[in-house]
């Protein structure tokens, strides 16, 4: 998958800038391992591998899981190298304009600044200010400078904002301009306000496809202060069941490679949400040369991440919250297990857009897709996006005019 091209389908007059989507490290690196399974790597990793120690119980389980999927990943990667990898560079093009050339110096300052460049908004910090309720978006349809169209304003936080426009639209907050894809809806709020998205009355207004990428507690995220994280108990209270469509929903949950998390997701989180496990997919991250971003068999660092997929069965009986009943799960034999999705990872741990891959597996095919992304940092055409910074990557700086 080439994520930028997928995202671009949501816009009619703009394209996502490759150099803002992809980590500049991929364009400036000179020595990546030639194969994902070699023992070549950085000095640090070589040193780490030489240390012999006994794996603890969780590490043994994680290693067993890795061994189960290793051959599937290798096979997918081999097929990718034989077909797509040789032309990978052609997918990622710079059009020769000055602002298209990746600059290592710019990259350093933006990394220190969490990638939020001058003039862009840090929504998480803004929401904590006492003035937060006073911030507003104003919209003007179509082009940024279109003055004839009627404009409207709406509070920035804790308000469901809908752009029913069939073309992309620009929202302004002071000097900041945000590009909204076609027919999108979003809510910028803390988790305590996510219930605002629960359909009132008819759960046919609910969502039949949900993608969830929680801010798992994680040392690396804490160290880099990438974003605030949430203890697992908060995730247990996400109203996934109440957000679901009456005819059920496909739920996709991103998890890290920690065995403790995988166990929690499978034995506590999915059951608490009423989700029945259906499949596991793997996102294999590759460099622009097509090699894996790190050797496949390192104990604590894998070049892939897992996506757990499950179904919320259809609801029957009364629609009142207390008496919602769930029937047994429908069979969804067409959802592949151990599917491997391969792409170059975006900057700031951005996940690849899953909409087109998942929409064919939603339950009740007669229904149009009603997609929801929880903990989103970008918007998606036709979908609802929620989180404390769903406009993070929508600033006009991330786009260029077509
Ligand atoms: N899927 C996203 C992407 O590909 O760019 C990454 C999501 S990131 C793992 C988790 C997000 O949850 C971050 O944007 C973080 O700020 C947000 N978050 C953390 N605590 C939150 C809270 N209490 N309420 C709402 N969102 C929160």
What are the domain boundaries of the chain? 123-141+153-316+332-401
Tokens of 86: 């040789």
Distance CA 294, CA 298 (A): 8
Atom of ligand 1 nearest to the CA of 190: 24
Identify the residues whose C-beta falls under 6 Å from ligand 1.
124, 190-191, 213, 215, 227-228, 230, 350-351, 375, 377, 387-389
Atom of ligand 1 nearest to the CA of 377: 5
User: Rounded to the nearest whole angstrom, what is the distance from the C-alpha of residue 216 to the centroid of ligand 1?
Assistant: 9
What's the CATH architecture for 123-141+153-316+332-401? 3-Layer(aba) Sandwich (3.40)
Residue bearing tokens 């597996």? 361
Tokens of 166: 């069939």
Interface ipTM: 0.99
Smallest CA separation from ligand 1 atom 10, residue:
215
Q: What is the pLDDT of residue 52?
A: 62
User: Rounded to the nearest whole angstrom, what is the distance from the C-alpha of residue 42 to the centroid of ligand 1?
Assistant: 30
Atom of ligand 1 nearest to the CA of 390: 14
Kind of pairing between the strands at 169-173 and 136-140? antiparallel
Q: Mean pLDDT in runs of 10 for the chain (402 residues)?
A: 90 88 59 43 52 76 91 96 82 53 36 56 90 88 49 89 85 89 94 95 84 90 78 95 93 94 96 96 93 90 96 69 42 82 90 93 80 97 96 93 89
Enter the pTM of the model.
0.86
Q: What is the pLDDT of residue 61?
A: 87
The DSSP 8-state label assigned to residue 197 in this structure reads G
Q: What is the pLDDT of residue 47?
A: 54
């Amino acid at each position: 998958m080439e994520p930028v091209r997928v995202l671009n389908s949501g816009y009619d007059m703009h394209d996502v800038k490759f150099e803002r989507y992809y980590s500049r490290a991929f364009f400036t690196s000179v020595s990546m391992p030639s194969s994902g399974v070699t023992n070549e790597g950085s000095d640090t990793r070589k040193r780490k591998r030489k240390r012999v120690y006994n794996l603890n119980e969780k590490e043994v389980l994680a290693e067993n899981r890795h061994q189960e999927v290793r051959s599937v990943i290798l096979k997918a990667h081999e097929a990718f190298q034989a077909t797509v990898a040789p032309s990978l560079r052609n997918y990622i093009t710079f059009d020769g304009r000055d602002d298209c050339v990746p600059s290592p110096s710019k990259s350093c300052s933006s990394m220190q600044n969490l990638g939020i460049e001058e003039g862009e908004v840090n929504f998480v910090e803004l929401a904590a200010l006492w003035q937060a309720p006073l911030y507003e978006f104003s919209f003007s349809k179509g082009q940024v400078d279109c003055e004839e169209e009627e404009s409207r304003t709406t509070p920035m936080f804790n308000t469901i904002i809908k752009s029913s426009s069939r073309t992309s639209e620009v929202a302004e907050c002071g000097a900041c301009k945000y590009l909204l894809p076609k027919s999108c809806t979003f809510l910028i709020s803390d988790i305590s306000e996510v219930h605002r998205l629960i359909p009132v009355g008819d759960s046919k207004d609910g969502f039949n496809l949900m993608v969830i990428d929680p801010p798992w507690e994680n040392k690396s995220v804490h160290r880099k202060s990438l974003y605030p994280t949430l203890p697992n108990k908060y995730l247990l209270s996400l109203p996934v069941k109440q957000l679901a469509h009456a005819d059920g929903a496909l739920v996709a949950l991103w998890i890290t490679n920690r065995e403790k998390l995988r166990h929690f997701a499978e034995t506590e989180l999915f059951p608490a949400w009423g989700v029945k496990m259906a499949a596991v997919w793997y996102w294999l991250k590759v460099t622009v040369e097509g090699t894996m971003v790190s050797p496949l068999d390192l104990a604590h660092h894998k070049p892939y991440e897992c996506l757990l997929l499950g179904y919320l069965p259809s609801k029957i009986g009364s629609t009142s919250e207390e008496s919602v009943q769930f029937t047994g799960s429908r069979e969804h034999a067409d959802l592949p297990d151990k599917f491997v999705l391969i792409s170059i990872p975006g900057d700031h741990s951005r996940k690849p857009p899953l909409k087109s891959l998942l929409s064919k597996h939603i339950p009740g095919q007669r229904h149009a897709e009603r997609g929801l992304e929880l903990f989103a940092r970008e918007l998606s055409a036709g979908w609802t996006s929620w989180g404390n910074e769903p406009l993070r990557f929508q600033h006009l700086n991330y786009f260029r005019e077509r």
